[in-house]
Each structure stands twice: as structure tokens, then as C-alpha cells.
Structure 1
Amino acid sequence: MSRHVRTVHRGGVSPVRITPGRTIRTGAAALALITLSACGGGGTGKADSHGPFRVLAVLPLSGALAEQAKLQMSGLQAAADDLNGRGGIGGRKIEIASVDDKLNPTEAVSRLQSRLNGSERPDYVLAGATSNETLAMLPALTNARVLSGTTASDRSMDDPKKYPYHFGYQSANDQNYASAVRFMKTRGVRTLAFIASNDALGTYNRSAIENAVKGTGIKLVAQSYDSKATDLTAPLDALRSARPDLLLASGYGPAVGYILDARQKLNWSVPVIGDSGFAGSNPASLVDSSALKDVLIQTFKVAALSERGSWQPATERMVKAVAAKGPVKQIITLAAEPYDALQVLGVAAEQAGGTDPADLKKAMESLKRPSPVPWTTYAAYAYSTKAHFPVVNDSDFSYLPASVLVQGQFEASS
């Protein structure tokens, strides 16, 4: 049995016949998958090494982080367009599918497991937008021996023995915070206040900043906030009593606005540096401009228009490709890192001579840097058998005023 649906193309509307259980690709949506499952029947549980290279994005496409997740999808699709124009990954054309996990780790695992057991098993999974989602999915991905990546940065995921097929695409905050502390030293900071959520990521971030300040002469005072709270004046007021020189703020999504609102309610003029998650939440879209006074964000140069001369060669092409898919309302890094994920896989497949997961894993752990590099965020993705997260240098970062984004990039310079 078949039926017609109406598919919109730039040139108008045309009927497309869809048969249950089949995948149809049309027009500008050539990378999107429309799968209608027939009644009954189970998957083979095996990826087709001769068919398309299937990428599955398990992301919060609805809810508080929907805009961020949609930008991650744009980055994936831009990379797939670029790679497919050059033959795909290991000679296999890339197809992208997505499922909405509603920012719920349990939902993420359920949706993932359904795809792993289905007839179109993914070759690669972009596993969540937050550490909570990713950590929930990693056991299933590891058991299935499916390559995965994430832009979440909880260091506990960087465990090649426990999660051998998982590779991060954002440096962990132990590195980011160490770089930020070196920047703070140049600003004469002696007492540092730190605030983070009380969930797994916030706990990790607190440990990371504690380690980063050791031996630096900087005194640290820290507070946690309930990840579900909307009024954060109490923990900020506790920090204010220590009279710090600077506040390092860790948060993602709405929590960023709550931190800045609380600072303003307290009439507290302490300078702020927001970490990479903070920057990725587009603070200017969450609060009035008056709440952004003396607020800097730590961000990668790919998101800084003032750093154009230091961009990787592929950056401008990526930015244009992502912008062509629709307005960029969040920081471009959210698109750049998934874009890089597929580009790194493409290089690994060339060096491995194919797309077998074990061969790709081995190639990524000893990746030879091509010239020019096809990725955008780091000079190199220096993975190894002991580390599956990127290694960064101070020169990878910029510290910019939390200004309005222009096509996903901060216009102001520090």
C-alpha cells in the first residue's frame, strides 16, 4: 500500500510516492530521512558497509535547547553536503536522520536503541547536546560498537577503555578552565568566585576549576545551584560576601540568564567570564543588555569575527554553508563542532581505507593532519589511544564581550 505526500521544493510543490518502510530523499532535503515503518518486522542489527553512511543525531529538537540542537543539525548537514560532493565517507554517500530526545536521557536511550535494532542501523551517532544525554547513551553505543561523538564536555566520557568508539568534539573544561585561569592571571585576579549547577556536569566543572587554580596563588570560592532553579540570587549572594575579583560562571541554556539576572538583582558589579557552555547559550538573547556589562565569554576563534585572520581555511566555507540553511540564532560553534565531526571521520576513512568501525577508531587515534585541514575549530584533532577528547592551546580561545551574535559569531573584540 502506498500514499502521496506533498513535498515542497524551491520550484513549487510536487507529489512524491512513499511506500511504508522505505526511505525517500528529494530535492533540497536530500540528506533528510523520511522513514515510515511497516507493521511488524525487526532490524538486522548490522550496518550495511556497502550502502549509505548513516548518521543519526539524537538531540533535543524540542524544548529549551531546540535552537541549539537545530544548529547542530545544520552543521552536520553542511558537512554532509561538502563530503558528498567529494564522494562521501569512504566512498559511501552520507545520509542523516534525527530523533528528538526532548532533553530526556531515558528518551534518548529508548530512541537510540530502537535505531540500533532497526533495519537502518547508524554508522555514526551524534549522541546528545548535553553530558546527561550522552552519558546515558554511551553504554548502548559501546555495546553495539557504533562510533559516536558529542559536543558535551564531561571528562568522564573521555575514557577510551570504557567507551572505545566515542570521540568528543569539544575540549573538556579541565583544559578550558586551565586556559581561562592563565588569562585571569594576566588580569591580576587574586580571588575567584565560581558557580555551577549541582548535576554531573556542574560537579565535574567544579573539580576542574579547583585543579586549575592549584599552585597559581588564586583563591577560589565556589557555590552550586539547583539545575531546576530559576532564582539564583542566594548562591550568588553567598559568593559576593567573599569579595572576589572575578566570577567564572558555568551554565547552559536558560541557567545562563538566571545567573545574569541574579547578578543584576543584587546590583553586583563583579566582572564575569562565562565558560564555553555559557557562550554557547547566546547570553544576549536571554537578558537585557544592561545585564551584560563587564561580561566576557570564553569562546573558540571560529565564533569570533575579530579573529578572522586566525581562522582555519575551511571556516568561512562552513559559516556560509550553515547560514544558507537558515538564520543562525546561536553561536556558530554549535554547528562547527558537528561539522568537524564528519570531516574528521572523512579523513579517518581515507587513512583507514574504509569505514569499518574498528579501523576508523584506530585511524582517529593516530590521525595524520592533512593540509589544508577540512575542519574549523582546532588546528588539529590530536586523539590517541589514551585520549578521545581534543587537546587545545591558549591560542585556540578568544575572550570577548557577550555581545549580539552576527550569523552565529560575536562581533565585538576584547
Structure 2
Amino acid sequence: MKHPKNKFVKATAVAAALLLGTTACGGNAAGQTDDASGKPFSILAMVPTSGPLAKIGAGVTSSLKAAVEVINAHKGIAGRQVEITFVDTTSSPSEAVSRLQSELSKGTLPDLVVPSVVSSETVALLPLLTRKKILSVGTAAGTISTDRAKFPYAFNTAVQAKDSMSAQIKKIAGHGVKKLGVIAPDSVLGRDKLKALEELTAKAGIEIKSEFVDPASVDPTAELSRLKGSGVEALLVAAALGPSGAAIMGAFDKVGWDVPRYLDDAASTNNYAGLSPTALQNVTFAAMRYGVADEATRKSGSYKLYWDAFTGVTTSYEQGPDVYVYPYSALILAKAAIDKTGGVKDLDAVVKSFEGISSTDSELWIMTEKLALNPANHSIQIADDDMVFFPAGARNAEGLFTKAAAK
């Protein structure tokens, strides 16, 4: 089977060595190129560029290209220029595994893998990468993907379920809600979010009623109708990244339910431009600060480097900011950790470097005010203040949220 790949060459003075080609580089018995070989640092990016997640995959591809450009302009990774290969997962976990196996059977192994951008595919890919002892940095928010005991060589920049839900429940509780409805896709991330919500709402004294929706459902009116009949005071749409988010939000008019709605960071990321004018009324979005046009974090020098590179790669900003910043940050995190060890040959040292990462280790970091990993897992540490909440609305021409006083 032929596996579609994305080729991209950026021939500029600062990034002449940016080769996004079809041949993965490097490899020794442990899987990585000898750090002293002088060969490019090879990254394999497993990204859904066809199927239901293709639009998200296109955004991720652009952000990874931007990251490679910035990294190569800043001495590469451990002094080696970066080469990245893209392989289409087709939005299918089983196909993603098949295509990864094919790539890894070619005789040389990549130095680093981006194991897709959604939890269902990432969780399917990590066992193989772990057996091969290949380092990975992903963007999937499913908790299992950051289990350091199960997947010791896997790291993640997505906001984890408990972190995002902590800020979300504080916001909802502050509005006096005592009975909350929750609707989420029946997915790895959806189940993670509900588990976190059950714990957090119990502590906050909030009763919840929940419904799972088939991620492929185009008409979740039955689930919404049951929640409407339960007497909840507000509704949280959680983990609905991609088509499921639009299906849920588009069904409220059919149900005739104008309950206050909160969308978590995943659901807020979607493009809702095709819905009715009333679909986003009485709705509160959630986003990381870097995704809001008015936030001070966007004025930093590191953010300008990101934005200049990203807008040089694409002029399409259809997806929410997380789709672009998570993958970009994954490679920036990898650079910071691997630069400290001088390469990836000693994986145990690399793991310790990731686990001990701090703000002083990267001048390129933009995702959070403080750079650190969660003590309990391999995900980025998120503070409640890293997330903001504001009335839902269309994003601007650059794909950014535009609430002037997001709180």
C-alpha cells in the first residue's frame, strides 16, 4: 500500500535545511541516529490529513512546519537541523498503526515521533512506539497517553482533562450552578473528561447529569432531550473536538432548549460558522490565553517568532488556536529537553530532562506562562489562570478569539 506523504521545502537563509521529505533519517539498534553523525534530526509526524479529521490535520501540518522552521533557525535540535516526514493516518486508529508499522519497518527509525493529534489514534500508536523505545511528543488530551509508567518515552502538550475541567468547574460554580448537564462524545477524551468532572463537581457541590454521544452521530437530539428533561440549570459540552461538536451545537434549535451552555477548550476550538445565527447565543467559550487576540502573551518575542513562521506557511486559520499551538509547542518542548542532553541516544537521560524541564530551558516557549511537566504524568502543567472564559462568537481573520476583556 502506498502511504501518502506531505513534502515541503522552505528555502530561506534561516531555514535552508528544512526538508520535509519522504525519507525518515537516522537509526541505530536503539532506534535513533548517532547524535554525533551530523545527520539531520528526524521527526515522523503521524497526522490525519484525510477522513473526518482532515481539516484539523491540515492545521497541525502547518503548525509543525512552522515549528521546524523556527527550530532550525535556532540551531536545530541538539545542534542538528530537523527533517520531518508526514504520514496520513486517514483519521483511523487501525490504519494509523498499520502505517506506522510500515514506516518503522524500513530499516531506520526516527529520532522523534508525533503520534497523531487525537487521543484515539495516539493511544493506538503508543504501545508500538514504547516497544521500539522511540521518543514521542504528542498533542492528545486523553489521560492514558501521558501515563509515565505505561508509556515512559511519551510526552504531551495538550491540556489534560483534569486541568481543563478544574478551571471550567470553578467558572461554572462561580455562576451559582448547582445542577449541571454534561454531553460529550463517547471517546477516550470524552470518558476522561467525565471522570474528571465527576470528581471536581462532587467537591464543588454540583450535581451532574451526563450523556455520551456517538462521535459519528449527526443528530444527538435524543441525548439533548433527555438532559433537558432532567432539569439541569446549565449544560457543559465537553471533549467535542471535530464533527461531533457541530452536531451537538446544531441540535439545540431542534430541541428548543436555550439553556446556558459552556463549551470546554476542545469544543470551543471548532469552527461553528455554518450554524444558525442563534446557535452561539447564551454560550460561553473556553480558551488558553494565547488564543485570545487581546491577551498580553501574544506580544512576547517568542510568540512573534511562532506567528511569523506560522503565517509564512499558511493563510488558512479555520481551526481554533489550540490546533496550531499544541503541535508547535510539542516540538519546542522536544528541542528544550533534548538540547540539554545533547541528543536522544541515552533515552533515560532524555526522559529525566523532559521531567525536569523549566522555563529557563526554552526561549521559544509560548503555550503557558510557566514551563513545567505535571509531577504525576508526562503532560504540560496548566494553571487555572492559563485559561480564560468569554461569550462565544466568531474568531477573527487570523483564527483568534476576540473578547477584549476575557476573564
TM-score (norm 2): 0.88
Look up the equivalent residue of 1:142 and give its one-letter code.
T
CA drift of 1:168 comes to 1.1
- Whether the aligned pair in 1 keeps the contact of 2:49 and 2:88 (CA below 8 Å) is yes
Cα-to-partner distance string for 1:292-347 (whole Å, 9 max, x where unaligned): 11112211011111223576542233123212212221112211111111111111
- Tell me, which stretches of 5 or more residues in structure 1 are unaligned? 1-22, 37-41
- What SS does the corresponding residue of 1:72 show, helix, strand or coil? helix
Report what 1:82 is aligned to: 70
CA deviation vs aligned residue, 1:59-99 (integer Å, no higher than 9, x gap): 11012221211111211111111111121000111011111
| One-letter code aligned to 1:234 | A
- 2:225 pairs, out of 237, 246, 259, with 237
Q: Does 1:361 align with 2:346?
A: no
How far apart in 1 are the matches of 2:211 and 2:331?
A: 38
Report the CA distance between 1:202 and its aligned residue.
Answer: 1.9
Number of residue pairs aligned between Structure 1 and Structure 2: 386
Report what 1:394 is aligned to: 384
2:251 counterpart SS class = helix
CA distance, structure 2, for counterparts of residue 217 and residue 385 of structure 1: 27
Say which of 244, 255, 263 aligns to 2:244.
255
**Match for residue 3 of structure 2?**
none
Q: CA RMSD in A?
A: 2.4
Structure 1 372/343 Cα, relative in aligned 2: closer, same or farther at 3 Å? closer
Match of 1:404 among 394, 403, 406: 394
User: Counterparts in 2 of 1:138-157, with a 5 A limit?
Assistant: 138-157=126-145
Does structure 2 conserve the Cα–Cα contact (< 8 Å) formed by 1:383 and 1:389? yes
How far residue 45 of structure 1 moved from its aligned partner, in angstroms, is 7.5
- Shift of residue 381, structure 1, vs aligned partner: 3.4
Residue in 2 aligned with 1:15?
none
Structure 1 residue 24: Cα displacement: 10
In the TM superposition, what is the alpha-carbon distance from 1:160 to its structure 2 partner? 0.7
Q: Deviations over 1:94-151 (max 9, x none)?
A: 0111111111111111111122222442111111121110110011000111111221
Partner of 1:46: 31
Distance 2:174 2:100 in 1: 46
Q: 2:372 maps to which residue?
A: 382
**Alignment check: 8 A CA contact 1:127 1:148 kept:** yes
Deviates more, 1:385-394 or 1:25-34: 25-34
Checking the alignment, whether the CA contact within 8 Å between 2:31 and 2:111 is kept in structure 1 is no
- For residues 24 and 292 of structure 1, what CA distance do their matches in structure 2 show? 37
Moved more, 383-392 or 90-99: 383-392
> Structure 2 vs 1, CA of residues 70 and 324 (structure 1 numbering), >3 Å: closer, same or farther?
same
Note if 1:64 corresponds to 2:55: no
Answer yes or no: is the 8 Å Cα contact 1:169–1:337 preserved in 2.
yes
Does the 8 Å CA contact 1:173/1:208 hold for their aligned counterparts?
yes
Asked if 1:136 corresponds to 2:127, the answer is no
Percent sequence identity over aligned pairs: 28
Query: Who wins on radius of gyration, i.e. which is larger?
Result: 1
Alignment partner, residue 349 of structure 1: 338
Mapped to 2, the partners of 1:24 and 1:60 lie a distance apart of 17
Aligned with residue 294 of structure 1, among 276, 282, 286: 282
Residue of 273, 278, 282 corresponding to 2:267: 278
Partners in 2 of 1:409 and 1:122 — Cα distance?
34
Matching of residues 159-178 of structure 1 within 5 Å: 159-178=147-166
SS at structure 2 position matched to 1:122: coil
1:27 and 1:317, CA in 2 relative to 1: closer, same or farther beyond 3 A? closer
Kindly state the Cα deviation for residue 371 of structure 1 after the two structures are TM-superposed: 7.1
